[in-house]
């Protein structure tokens, strides 16, 4: 409960600062939005660590290959970083640049998931009668 009040407060304060600054210097407004995003993420990071630890523990108990969970978590990190950059680009009005960042991150995520897809296809091929 304490955390959410802090996060909402930071968001609203940053919003007011951005609205004030934007009339005079639009480039500083982008800086404020970047910094407020980073601060809010640092408040959320403790909870995220707990969630990831729980996922790893469940994965170990159920005997699923640990490699796949690692890939999944890495993809989440890439998606988070890419989303951070994409939303800042869109806020600054550069949606074409945002699309390029999105395309790049999508390509990286798909290239990381290739081992999983390969395994799946191999299993299907093994199941099929010759």
Partner 1 sequence: MNVDLLFKIAAVGILVAVLHQVLCRAGREEQAMMTTLAGLVIVLTLVIKEISSLFDTVRTLFSL
Q: Which residues bind partner 1 (CB under 8 A)?
A: 10, 13-14, 17, 20-21, 24-25, 27-29, 31-32, 34-36, 38-39, 41-43, 45, 48-49, 52, 70, 73-74, 76-78, 80-81, 84
> Which phi-psi region, left, alpha or beta, contains residue 15 (left: φ > 0; alpha: ψ -120 to 50)?
alpha
Q: How far is the CB of 81 from partner 1 (least distance, A)?
A: 6
Handedness of CA 112, 118, 119, 124 (dihedral sign): positive
- Measured in degrees and rounded to the nearest 5, phi and psi for residue 84 equal -55, -50
Closer to partner 1 at the Cβ: 14 or 86? 14
Question: Would you state the structure tokens that stand for residue 77, as one six-digit string?
Answer: 């990190």
Q: How far is the CB of 110 from partner 1 (least distance, A)?
A: 16
Q: How far is the CB of 43 from partner 1 (least distance, A)?
A: 7
Closer to partner 1 at the Cβ: 41 or 103? 41
Closer to partner 1 at the Cβ: 72 or 90? 72
d(CA 104, CA 101): 5
**Could you give the C-alpha distances from 60 to 3, 28, 74, in angstroms and in order?**
30, 47, 17
Q: How far is the CB of 24 from partner 1 (least distance, A)?
A: 3
């Amino acid at each position: 409960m304490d955390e959410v009040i802090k996060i909402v407060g930071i968001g609203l304060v940053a919003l007011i600062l951005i609205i004030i600054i934007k009339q005079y210097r639009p480039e500083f407004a982008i800086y404020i939005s970047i910094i407020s995003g980073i601060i809010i993420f640092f408040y959320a990071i403790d909870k995220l660590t707990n969630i990831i630890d729980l996922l790893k523990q469940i994965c170990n108990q159920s005997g699923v290959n640990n490699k796949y969970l690692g890939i999944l978590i890495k993809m989440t990190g890439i998606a988070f970083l890419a989303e951070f950059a994409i939303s800042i680009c869109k806020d600054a009005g550069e949606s074409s640049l945002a699309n390029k960042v999105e395309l790049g991150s999508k390509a990286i995520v798909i290239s990381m998931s290739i081992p999983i897809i390969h395994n799946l296809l191999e299993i299907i091929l093994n199941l099929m009668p010759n």
